Structure 1
Amino acid sequence: MDSAELDPFQKKVSAALVQVTRTVAQLSSEDLGFHRTSSSEFTESLDEQSERILALTSAVLKAATAGTDVDAPSLDTEESLEDNWRGVVDVIDSLLEKADACLDEFTGVIKKLSPSQEEQAPVARKAPKFPTTYDYGPSKIPKPQLLFDHKPDNSDLGPFHPLLETKPHASVPLEKSLTQRQIGGVTAYPHPYETEIRNAQYPKSVYQTASPINFLSFEGTTATFVDTLDGVKKMLEELKQAKEIAIDLEHHDVHSYHGLVSLMQISTRNKDWVVDTLKPWREELQMLNEVFADPKILKVLHGSTMDIIWLQRDLGLYVVGMFDTFHAASALGYPKRSLKFLLKKFVDFEADKRYQMADWRVRPLPSGMFDYARSDTHYLLYIYDCMRNALIEASTPEESLIDYVQDRSKNEALQRYERPVYDAEKGQGAGGWYDLLSRNPGGALSKEQFAVFKAIHQWRDEVARAADEGWQCVFPKHMLFKLAQVMPLDMGTLLRTLSPMTPLTKDRAGDLLNTIKKAAAAGATGPEWRDIAPPPKTLPVAVDMEDVDFPIAERYETSQFWGDVLQLQEPSAPASYSAVASLEALRLSLPLPPMPTTVSQAREKLAVTANAQSSPAPKAAPAPAPVPEEPKYFTVKDLGGPRKRKVAPVDTRDEEASTPDILAGPSDESEMTAKQRKKLRKEKKKAKKTAQSASQFEAEPFDYNTADSVLKAAPTAAPSAQQRKKPFNPYVKALDAPSGARKQQRNDAGKSMTFRE
């Protein structure tokens, strides 16, 4: 298929995949469980389609693995897809690797083998794997650390002893440098090159502006893969002749507890080297200290924080006279400080980041990974030249940016490697549980869950140390929190919680289950996470509250809403403290007339008002003591009114007298026609309304002081039958239902019942 036919086919396939992806996302967002329970037909159809998709997927996987050494996983049920997901990922990775190899052949990066060579060639080795979450199973590459002359000992928790056997360019002898002393309250070995690093100064050429030396073309530069001791010695002789060298490392930390330096890249102005650091004689690379510790040779690195640690731990190498371009970018205020940004800015080179997370233990090294490794140092010396000139131009007589970079680079080079010691009780250390809980929401963990979290975290660390694997190969961090929250107490729940389960955990599932049970039982009386959690951050400076001028709220003497309508008056008699406080609170909220504070005051006020309305009368003699009366008997029938009240006749003579003679015609209605009588009645009603409205405006203002008490008001007459209106019921037509129980007959007036008073 040529390119003309490939493009339409690719667009058609992409469009179909996009549509399928959208449909699947739509279906997954629906409540399929609810629809399953609501329709048996839908359930059968869904199961049928699920089996069909699983069958198609299995067929595709078998077709993709035909003729290869990759086994296609068997997908019989939906659960098997989750259990065998790692196998599915392996198939996809193999397809991507084939596509990558075909593209390399198409572009000419790899020369296609002749037919005779293809027939005689053995089975091609698998291309490098890219670690993902599902690649944390058993290592598919034999562990190189098993062949080291000095195998890593993960159980050693003592101070790290430097690997140095000799100390080139020393101002302090090696024996004196390797004497233990107290450092930060802990007995440890000092940095062997501490004195040399502090006293080192950049060569004078670093402080002088010069035109950047152009780098050689990537294809035209000699690149050498060094995997023998003779090759290391030959490279060392050439490095001694250089004035500046660029250094970088590639590290692997998945299938090793402490990690492994897998490659070391070194470049000069005209040559690149890639050194294999996984050889059994890797500690013999200490001979490179003749260049690395030479202060006259400038070592250019980028982001050297971890590189310095790894060089000490694995190779026994130390760097004196380092220039870190990361700190140079910080001094110049660049928006980004990554090596990728510097390569794009100064060289216009895009690094191929496909191999950034590759497994650098693979041997022999593929050409793509080899080129990616050497690109990190091939252009670094040219970038150093450009940044050096920029630092000199941006410096001032008071502040030298070159010195700033030198100080920061010295601090990086003075780092010491210390073994991570696991503290199970307090959780401190590089891989402890304390830091993990502090950076993740662990406040919701109960006592039992917190105890389980600590126990399985320690269990995971012990398993990783014993197997020399990264802790993520036991189970990842999110599974750690999931186990602590679920606290499985049986094997079935444990397997479901950790699905998919890594081989390391599967082989030790019984031990893990016992650990969880013991921790959950012991955690019932243990502490909670909040008891030892870090305290919340406080203000750095204490504030004296007496020195703070708080705003004072001003109050209005009169209401902003009522105005001067209701003026306040002082109470005539002093009240108690509580009464005064209540009055003051009421006055501040809303101005109101003075009100009595007690019932007795209210009664006295009502008595004074009644006396003021009546004329003065002589004081009456005290009434004799009341004599108890005999009980009276009464009949309800006599006191009850009729069932229907009669409407009292309305006297309209006064109204008729007040109505003006506005009609000219017969005075007797019997002599009027029907039309005249109707018109007369309308005019009378109109005149009556006019008179009522006029009387309202002409009446005197109502005096509340002389009005009768509301407490002793006479009961108002009940409204007549005509005045009472049945409330509107909007649902009267909708109540189409059988009638309920019969209403209980009430006792109306007229029934005779006798009571004792």
Structure 2
Amino acid sequence: MDSTQLKAVQDKLTAALVQVSRNVNQLASEDLNFHRASSGDFTESIDEQSERILALTSKVLQIAVGETGKSAPTLEDEDSIEDNWRDVVDVIDSILERADACLDEFTGVIKKLSPSEEEQAPLVKKAPKFPTIYDYGPSKIPKPQLLFDRKVDNSTAELFRPLLKVKPNAITPLEDCLKTQDIDGKEGYPTPYESEIRASKYPKSVYEQSPPIDYLPFESTTATFVDTLDGVKEMLKELKQVKEIAIDLEHHDVHSYAGLVSLMQISTREKDWVVDTLKPWREELQILNEVFTDPKILKVLHGSFMDIIWLQRDLGLYVVGMFDTFHAANALGYPKRSLKFLLQKFVNFEADKRYQMADWRIRPLPSGMFDYARSDTHYLLFVYDHLRNELIQASTPDGNLIDQVNERSQNAALQRYERPVYDEAHGQGQGGWYDMLCRNSGILSKEQFAVFKAAHKWRDEVARAEDEGVQCVFPKHVLFRLAQTMPLDMGVLLRTLSPMTPITKARADDLLDVIKEAKIAGADGPEWRDVAPPLKTSKPLVTESKDEDFLIPERFKTTFFGEPLHMPSKQISPEHALAALKEAHRLAFPSPPVPTTVKEVRENLGIKTTPATPPTEQPAPALAPVEPEEKKVFTVKELGGPRKRKVTPVDQPTEDLLTLEPSDDDIYDEETEAKRRKMLRKEKKKAKKAAKVQAESTPFDYGAADSVLNSSSAQTSEALPKKKKTFDPYKKALEAPSGVRKLKRDESGKSLTFRK
């Protein structure tokens, strides 16, 4: 086969893989556990096929690692797949890389050397695959935070004090901003630039519609990589000469407890910079506050919610005069608000997805990652021009969208960083255990709940001490596995933690003691569902929204459609809290009003009803004088009681009543005739039902039945008499009980569902 025939083979292989994927997805959507319980034969077949697939997979993995000299994992059951998942992924990656190289050689993208050329060719090492944030094992890159001038402190013993040394463009002196205050019921440092952010006025150009300024071609321009303090000062001189800049950050939070700002991208209309923020002198970047806090220079960011926190936490930088394109896209009602969507919409540019999860601590920075980081700000000012014009066009005299976006951007810039505090009792806050348990479908006993809390706290303490992400100690699914098994000896603990990280391995004895103590204490402890989240009294009960004229309780603060509801400061009485919540829910989820009473439902459906009058007590009728029997005159209607009640004669059969003709003495009308007809229909239905019951109770005459063995195959269902019963010799066999269902051990996080 030559390269021209590769397309046909590739299409055939793709079609086969698509069909396999469809079959797999269809099987995954079926409730196999339910079918297991319904048929013993089906259970045996499923188990047989499962063992066969696992055996074939193990053989494929062994064949794939044959040339590499590595050992392939053996998959014995479903649990072994999860335990050896990392090894399976590594084998699959190696297969795909070799297949990619072979295809390149086959199609001629890479010229294959002849044997003589291969002997003469120098050995060239293949460039290693760049690390991603999914590499939760030991860090392959030395920790840059170990060289910082200010050492990392993950403890909560002291409050976070702003890193500012000098405050340019100040309204309030720096000395007044570095004093602790009572903020929302807790002691803390205020935002140093709060006064400046609230007093800032946006440039007039933000409110004026003008044609978008074209960006420079990405291919013909280059960005400057700034990794020296002199380079930062040169960049600062150029930034002071412009009116608008675009800013973005790249963050790493796997091999760091709090996270690290790894790169900062800054762009003007003519130039791009990529600043290395992992240098030991990184806090010297505070000189950029001369531009970042200048209200005359517009700062354009996208999704600045976390960028503002990271800038003040790591670099001591604050932003005054910010325009967030995320809030602009939200105000315009775009279906998506991501930067990727905006770049595709206005620039028709799509960034390389390979670098979305890259480890941005890599130095020197690969060219692909450098271009990816640069693209985030290179087009952002051009996108801002389009959004500004659309906001002006969509504004009305009663609602200026530009002011709305500016106000939301200011609220984002007013955020204040606080050290994450671990809440052991209630599991609230960043990285707490309460939300994790609420999202998990498993049920924990008292002892398991106590072990879960103890292991969760131990993991957090180790991560703080090692300055690593909690997932690098052990991931979430291992945490639940520890709570379920509650290992009490080292062997079981090691099997439960497999594969074990070096951090946990060095502290396995300590973890085992923590689990033992927690299990003993949990015997008399509470259930996890009994531990309710605390009511946040440190903040106001409700706060006033800047976007809508309603109030929202603080404890119901949440995120609707990707944007947080705004919560500033105004308190109201508790009796209005529920009404405020309903109003907030109605505005966040537009839906028609739901009737709350039966009367409202009838009115909506147009059903007219007459008001029911309460029954009144009738006075007892006076006793009439008794007349002789032969002179007493009466009518049938008088003996029948009230008009709306059915007549039940005593001395006359029902059949005679139904055929009774009215006499001259009877009061006869259409209503009486309707009653007679109704009773006649009921009697006919009763007679028909009695005949059917009698027919069914009659024993079946096997002698008169048609022969099953000698029946004619040409006889069709039309030839049989209507409703004639036929003998089914297999009916009793089908009613036999099913086989014994296979016992399946409980697994955390999984439940059984049954479909009709």
DSSP 3-state at the match of 1:472: helix
Q: In structure 2, what is the equivalent of residue 504 of structure 1?
A: 503
**Is 1:126 aligned to 2:125, yes or no?**
no
**How do 1:59-458 residues align onto structure 2 when only pairs under 5 Å count?**
59-63=63-67, 66=68, 72-76=70-74, 78=76, 82-93=82-93, 123-132=125-134, 135-441=135-441, 444-458=443-457
The amino acid that maps onto 2:267 is S
The whole-number CA distance in structure 2 between the counterparts of 1:412 and 1:78 is 52
The whole-number CA distance in structure 1 between the counterparts of 2:279 and 2:138 is 21
The whole-number CA distance in structure 2 between the counterparts of 1:500 and 1:228 is 41
Deviation of the 1:190 alpha carbon:
1.1
**Is 1:474 aligned to 2:473, yes or no?**
yes
The whole-number CA distance in structure 1 between the counterparts of 2:204 and 2:253 is 39
Structure-2 change in CA distance of 1:451 and 1:50 (3 Å): closer
**Structure 1 stretch displaced more, 377-386 or 515-524:** 515-524
The whole-number CA distance in structure 1 between the counterparts of 2:400 and 2:391 is 8
Structure-2 change in CA distance of 1:101 and 1:174 (3 Å): farther
Output the aligned Cα RMSD: 4.7
* Structure label with greater radius of gyration: 1
Unaligned 5+ segments in structure 2 are 536-554, 557-574, 583-595, 600-608, 617-635, 661-694, 704-726, 730-756
Higher relative contact order, chain-length normalized (CA < 8 Å, sep 6+): 2
Deviation of the 1:297 alpha carbon:
1.0
The whole-number CA distance in structure 2 between the counterparts of 1:25 and 1:324 is 40
The amino acid that maps onto 2:516 is K
Whether contact under 8 Å (1:136, 1:254) holds in the other structure is yes
Q: What CA deviation, in whole Å up to 9, does each residue of 1:228-280 have, x standing for no partner?
A: 22222222221111111000011111111111111111111011111111222
The whole-number CA distance in structure 1 between the counterparts of 2:440 and 2:262 is 32
The whole-number CA distance in structure 1 between the counterparts of 2:264 and 2:59 is 47
The whole-number CA distance in structure 1 between the counterparts of 2:483 and 2:255 is 25
Deviation of the 1:531 alpha carbon:
2.8
DSSP 3-state at the match of 2:223: strand
Unaligned 5+ segments in structure 1 are 558-563, 571-586, 596-608, 610-692, 699-724, 737-757
Deviation of the 1:438 alpha carbon:
4.5
Deviation of the 1:50 alpha carbon:
5.4
Whether contact under 8 Å (1:292, 1:318) holds in the other structure is yes
Deviation of the 1:437 alpha carbon:
3.6
Q: In structure 2, what is the equivalent of residue 645 of structure 1?
A: none
Deviation of the 1:370 alpha carbon:
1.4
Deviation of the 1:435 alpha carbon:
3.6
Match among 535, 540, 544 for residue 578 of structure 2: 540
The whole-number CA distance in structure 1 between the counterparts of 2:225 and 2:101 is 21
What is the TM-score normalised by the length of structure 1?
Answer: 0.65
Structure-2 change in CA distance of 1:92 and 1:286 (3 Å): farther
The amino acid that maps onto 2:133 is P
Deviation of the 1:91 alpha carbon:
4.2
Deviation of the 1:428 alpha carbon:
2.7
**How do 1:670-709 residues align onto structure 2 when only pairs under 5 Å count?**
none
Q: What CA deviation, in whole Å up to 9, does each residue of 1:428-453 have, x standing for no partner?
A: 322222343455557x4433333222
The amino acid that maps onto 1:321 is G
Deviation of the 1:518 alpha carbon:
2.0
Deviation of the 1:95 alpha carbon:
6.1
Whether contact under 8 Å (2:641, 2:647) holds in the other structure is no
Q: What CA deviation, in whole Å up to 9, does each residue of 1:613-669 have, x standing for no partner?
A: xxxxxxxxxxxxxxxxxxxxxxxxxxxxxxxxxxxxxxxxxxxxxxxxxxxxxxxxx
Whether contact under 8 Å (1:172, 1:195) holds in the other structure is yes
The whole-number CA distance in structure 2 between the counterparts of 1:172 and 1:2 is 76
The amino acid that maps onto 1:375 is S
Q: What CA deviation, in whole Å up to 9, does each residue of 1:122-157 have, x standing for no partner?
A: 63442323334xx32222222222222223121244
Structure-2 change in CA distance of 1:86 and 1:436 (3 Å): closer
The whole-number CA distance in structure 1 between the counterparts of 2:305 and 2:140 is 30
Structure-2 change in CA distance of 1:31 and 1:174 (3 Å): same
Structure-2 change in CA distance of 1:401 and 1:77 (3 Å): closer
Q: In structure 1, what is the equivalent of residue 525 of structure 2?
A: 526
The whole-number CA distance in structure 2 between the counterparts of 1:105 and 1:249 is 39
Structure-2 change in CA distance of 1:258 and 1:104 (3 Å): farther
Structure-2 change in CA distance of 1:202 and 1:463 (3 Å): same
Deviation of the 1:492 alpha carbon:
5.1
DSSP 3-state at the match of 1:141: coil
Q: Could you tell me the percent identity over the aligned residues?
A: 64
Deviation of the 1:188 alpha carbon:
1.0
Deviation of the 1:342 alpha carbon:
1.4
Whether contact under 8 Å (2:426, 2:532) holds in the other structure is no
The whole-number CA distance in structure 2 between the counterparts of 1:383 and 1:111 is 43
Deviation of the 1:10 alpha carbon:
2.0
Deviation of the 1:31 alpha carbon:
6.4
Whether contact under 8 Å (2:263, 2:360) holds in the other structure is yes
Whether contact under 8 Å (2:426, 2:531) holds in the other structure is no
| Number of residues of Structure 1 aligned to a counterpart in Structure 2 | 574
Whether contact under 8 Å (2:73, 2:87) holds in the other structure is no
Whether contact under 8 Å (2:253, 2:469) holds in the other structure is yes
The whole-number CA distance in structure 2 between the counterparts of 1:454 and 1:368 is 43
Q: In structure 2, what is the equivalent of residue 516 of structure 1?
A: 515
DSSP 3-state at the match of 1:425: coil
Q: In structure 1, what is the equivalent of residue 461 of structure 2?
A: 462
